[in-house]
Homo-oligomer: A and B are copies of this chain.
Amino acid sequence: MPSPSIYTVAQRAGVSIATVSRVLRDSGPVAATTRERVLAAAAELSWSPNRLAAGLAARVHGAAGIVFPDLAGPYFSQVVLGFEEQAVADDRSALILATHGRLNADEMVLDLAARVDGLVVMDRTVTDEVVRCLEGRGSPVVLLARPAVGATPAVRAESLDAATRITAHLIALGHTRLAFLGDPEAAPDVDDRWRGFLVAHLEAGLPAPGKPVRSGFVQDEGYAAGTALLDDAARPTAVVCANDEAALGVYAAARDLGLRIPDDVAVTGWDDIPAARAVTPPLATVRQPMRELGRQAGALLSARIAGVPADSLTLPTEIVLRASCGPPANSRTPTNRIPTPTRRLEP
Contacts and interface: CB of A to CB of B under 8 A. Distances in A.
Contacts of A48: 110-111, 114, 137
Contacts of A63: 95, 115
Contacts of A62: 115
Contact of A51 (B84, B114, B255, B280): B114
Identify the interface centre among A88, A133, A278: most chain B CB within 10 Å of its CB. Answer: A278
A129 to B, nearest CB: 12
B74 A133 contact: no
A284 interface: no
A210 interface: no
Nearest to A275: B275
A115 B248 contact: no
A148 to B, nearest CB: 22
A51 to B, nearest CB: 4
Contact of A55 (B52, B88, B136, B331): B52
Contacts of A76: 77
Given A46-B133, A56-B56, A81-B72, A112 B138 contact: no
B61 A88 contact: no
Contact of A80 (B93, B96, B110): B96
A137 B46 contact: yes
Contacts of A219: 274-275, 277-278
Interface in A93-136: 93-98, 100, 108, 110-112, 114-115, 133, 136
Contact of A93 (B53, B115, B138, B218): B115
A274 B220 contact: yes
The A interface is mostly helix, strand or loop, or mixed, namely helix
A36 interface: no
A95 B93 contact: yes
A192 interface: no
Interface string A227-258: 00000000000000000010011011001100
Copies of this chain assembled into the complex: 2
A74 B251 CA distance: 19
A16 interface: no
A279 interface: yes
A264 to B, nearest CB: 14
A50 B114 contact: yes
A148 B98 CA distance: 29
A315 to B, nearest CB: 18
Given A248-B274, A278-B275, A94 B97 contact: yes
A73 interface: yes
A95 B51 CA distance: 14
Given A84-B96, A88-B108, 4 more contacts: A48-B114, A50-B56, A51-B114, A52-B52
Interface of A: 3, 46, 48-53, 55-56, 61-63, 70, 72-74, 76-78, 80-81, 84-85, 88, 93-98, 100, 108, 110-112, 114-115, 133, 136-138, 218-220, 245, 248-249, 251-252, 255-256, 274-275, 277-280, 331
24 contacts: A46-B137, A48-B111, A49-B114, A50-B56, A51-B114, A52-B52, A52-B56, A52-B61, A52-B115, A72-B77, A72-B78, A72-B81, A77-B77, A80-B96, A85-B100, A88-B98, A95-B95, A219-B274, A220-B274, A245-B274, A248-B278, A251-B278, A251-B279, A279-B280
